[in-house]
Structure 1
Amino acid sequence: MYQRMKRVGLINNYIMRHYDTIHTESRENITDSILECLENWEPIKVLPLPKVQTSIYCDKKRKEIMKMILS
């Protein structure tokens, strides 16, 4: 899991950047958000859109990754 998060930049670009907000959330909410971001950021799952978008930041990052892969 750590390697997957590190590979897509989730640790520095999401967890560390939003640490002040994240640490006030419950463990369940944090886990759900991080898993959703990880699934959205991994280039393997580029084509299907996420079923539920709970984070504008995750969606923005997903679009950036799609743009990089398709160009």
Structure 2
Amino acid sequence: MSSIVLNGSHYNLGCKSCSLYELFERLEYHSKQCVVELNGELLHKDSFSSATINEHDEVEILHFMGGG
């Protein structure tokens, strides 16, 4: 089983690698409301479909929240 660092904590992927969208599905996140940093690089939303998460990667996901 592969492990990554997700938002500062260890997370078990359950497979060798997965796409960023697969990770969003597992976490029940909506990609339209997120900004993602993969191994220190900010990802453009256009690259979400092609981004692959591999063992030992570091992923930071920031959510936008409305309020008032």
**TM-score bracket for the superposition, by shorter chain length:** under 0.3
Structure possessing the higher relative contact order (Cα contacts under 8 Å, 6 or more residues apart): 2
* Structure with more of its chain in strand, by fraction: 2
Q: TM-score, normalised by structure 1?
A: 0.25
* Structure with more of its chain in helix, by fraction: 1
Q: TM-score, normalised by structure 2?
A: 0.25
